[in-house]
Amino acid sequence: MANSGMQILGFALALLGVIGLVAGTIMPQWKMSSYVGSNIITAISMYEGLWMSCAFQSTGQMQCKVYDSMLQLNGALQASRALMVVSIIVVVAGLGAACMGMKCTTCGGDDKARKSRIAMTGGIIILIGSLCSIVACSWYANDIIQAFYSPLTPVNSKYEFGAAIFVAWAGAFLTLVGGGMLAASCPKKQSKPRYPISRPPSNKEYV
C-alpha cells in the first residue's frame, strides 16, 4: 500500500496548486507592456489578462476594464480561458475524490485496497486538470512570443510575460506533482508463491 505521508503531501501540493491556478486565472497580469526600442514611455503600464485589461499609472492608480465582447478576442485567449476554468473544476473534483480515498480519512469504508484505488483515481483526475492548465499557459505564452517577434507588431504594442502566467505555471506544476504522488497509491497485488507449498506426508501413506 502507498504511504499515507506521501498521500498527505500530494494532497497538500495539489491544494496549493489549485489555489495558484485560481489566483493566476483571476489576475490581470498575464502579459504586460514591453519597453523595447524607442518605446520608453513608462508613465503608463498596460496589462492584459484572461478577463480584463488594466492601465497602471506611475502615480499608483490602476484602471481596469472587462472585455466587452468575447467574439473579438483572439483564439489563444479564448482557449486559455476555457482550459483554465476546466482545469480548476477538474482539479477540485480530483481533490474531492482523493480525499475520500486517503488513508487518513474515514470515507470510502475500511477496505484499504478500494480506498487506494479511489485515491489513485483522484490523482489521475488531478493530472488531467494540471495538463489542461499547462496547455493553456503554454498556448498563451506562445501567442505572446509570436506577437513580440512579429515584424508587423508596432513597437509600442509589444507585450511580454506578466506575473500571472508564472503564478499559473507554478500552480500547474504543483498540481502535476501532487496528482502524480496521489496516482502512486495503486494497491499492490499480493504476491503468490511461485512453487507449490510442500506438505508433509500423511500417516496413511505408511499404513
13, 174 in Cβ contact below 8 A? yes
User: What are the tens digits of pLDDT across the range 180-190?
Assistant: 988 886 655 55
Topology annotation, domain 4-27+75-185? Butyryl-CoA Dehydrogenase, subunit A; domain 3 (1.20.140)
pLDDT score recorded for residue 73: 81
pLDDT score recorded for residue 63: 85
User: What are the tens digits of pLDDT across the range 160-196?
Assistant: 898 999 999 999 999 999 999 888 866 555 545 555 5
Amino acid at 136: A
State the cell numbers at 86: 476546466
Count the residues in the chain: 207
pLDDT score recorded for residue 111: 67
- 14 burial type by CB count under 10 A (0-12 exposed, 13-18 middle, 19+ buried): buried
Maximum CA extent, the chain: 108
pLDDT score recorded for residue 1: 45
Residues of the chain below pLDDT 50: 1-2, 191, 206-207
Taking the model in full, what pTM does it have?
0.80
- DSSP string of 114-172, one letter each residue: HHHHHHHHHHHHHHHHHHHHHHHHHHHHHHHHHHHH-TTS-GGG-EEE-HHHHHHHHHH
